[in-house]
Structure 1
Amino acid sequence: MKFGTKAIHAGQEPDPTTGAVMTPIYQTSTYWQKSPGDHKGYEYSRGTNPTRKALEDCFAALENARFGLAFSSGMAATDAVMKLFKAGDEVITGNDLYGGSYRMFTKIFANYGIKFHFIDLSDPEVIREHLNDNTKLIWIETPTNPTMKIVDIEAVAAIAKANNVLLAVDNTFASPYLQTPIDLGADIVMHSATKYLGGHSDVVMGALMLNDEELYQRLWFIYNSCGATPGPQDSFLVLRGLKTLHLRMKAHCENGRAIAEFLKSNPKVDKIYWPGFEDHPNHEVAKKQMRDFGGMISFSLKGADLAATFQLASSFKVFSLAESLGGVESLINHPASMTHASIPKEIREAAGVTDSLLRLSVGVEDIEDLLEDIKQAIGA
């Protein structure tokens, strides 16, 4: 089954009671049992809900995985993965990481004795220098947030498997439309489903997809026991959003390419980060593991200080200054003061997240309107 067909149909069957084509919103906290333990797989909605189950099955299908789990946020999904580990365990991850993940790793799980190594993953061979008997997980983003570094998933997966280490991939920026890390050897795929999967900036949700049944059961135990699961209304909204994921991603990619090329040709632009350029680091890896290059772009202007960057970020009319990404509307973000503010200045700047960097989430509006907005903000 092709991607677009899966996005519309996977995990969904006509409602057995009414024949409704759309999955109903099962707005219930509990379920009738004929006798104790005699139920149809649903007991209490913290653990299982038919609307959420349909969504989870669709999640799994889109990532070519066997199992899917929906969480109340992307951070809740990340939290569940980290709860697989104990004091003394070690995690290797990137030095160009979403600020919320960095904050969780350093401010919460480091306090429980888990050690994190933040390294440049552009060259997977560097991972070997940090492997030891305590290494239990490699956690990567690709493209990274916000400097769009590309990590070779297949190469990292080979290192992980050879050393009996789990590999988890945050696939939020790419979406399963652009890359499927399970096919490249990843054990776990994580999404902030708030972003491209939901696609309309009206719901907060996270997701995990995986193949291994034993690992799925361990994560499901955490999922059910700790209870960071979404309700049926949110599940319905993301399930509805998924039906147009393939159409939206095509438009995001087309608009992203046009804007990236315009910015690169503008003499006022200093640096631009977009993996579709041949001179972007690891562009060949991106070509190999991605189907297109997406609608996320970061850039800075020549000679812009913090005040000038703030002024620029506030001068757009179609792009909204806001956190998040992946919605149908275009957004502009200042990572240093917004999404990555929790990372100490010297650490984020070493990874390229400077005060002059701006990040665009290119939406699906008419490209002429988006280009005109950029022109009026920074000058043609």
Structure 2
Amino acid sequence: MAGRTYGVGIIGAGWVSGEHIRAFTVNPFTEVRGIYSRRRETAAAKLQETGVTAKVHDSLDSLLSDPDIDIISICSPPNLHCEHVVAGAAAKKHMVIEKPVAMNAAELQKMQKAVREAGVTTIVSFVLRWNPMFETTKQLIADDAIGDIMYAECDYVHWIGPHYGQYTWSRTKAAGGSSLLSAGCHAVDALRWFVGEVEEVCGYKAKGFPGSDYEFEPNITAILKFKSGAAGKVASILECRTPYIFNVALYGTKGTIRNNKLYSHKFPGQSNYLEYPTILPDSGDVTHHPFRGQINYFVSCIQNGSKPHANLDDAAKTMALCYAIDEAIATGRPVKL
């Protein structure tokens, strides 16, 4: 199947959809053939912006019923993801699903059921898994550079205010959901990706700006108890006065990783951290995110019939962790997963 060209349909015409289009355009086995958005003019403008010639569909049903489309990219607002994933599964389309996957556990379970019954391939855009620093960190862990991880931290610190495009919807409870659902779920997924599954969480809210317009707590932190026996901390800070920060710190029995710095038993006599040059996850701009790596991997999985590591069922574990943290914050009590 490697020589086949897969037709792609884009659902949604916001900021991130342009990066999906560009990623599919450069993949040698895919071609963007259609787009649907609630406003036809917005969809047409997105095609013009990306230099792609494709059909602008007047309805979701029109795009999903197009036999020339094999893959759909769901870049619609998060509160529409459930509807679009269930419809895409019924149409037997492979799917790229933007994060957050779903706004609550009930929606998530409905999506999982539809995808399992349809037997289609999915991938969720926890796109930092394809960031070079993440890839190197994952390999260092596999190579026993730091031994067993005892403690881990990940921080998502990004001022998303009125100056920022997504603020108008992401600050709302209906479309943004929470600090983690809106943005910080990337940090939650990073801890799962590097350390493993979590069995219990405690969560706390922090102060935000006076007179904040957020409909949920924009600044939160949580303590995590991993099944491996490790402990960890995750923070999601959306009201702050600082450039974008995404910190990863992993403390092991044989060494430590702090972003792109390594202290390891593999280097006898090492007196300080070894810093290696790489592309860091240091920008919230979607043009900086490695969508090409994600899309190339996804297409190869479709070709060889394998399941992507960031498939819907795997991503559901990250989302369940986010829901648990939000519950812990709301109730003031630890939550077991």
The normalised TM-score by structure 2 is 0.31
Which one has a larger percent strand, Structure 1 or Structure 2? 2
The normalised TM-score by structure 1 is 0.29
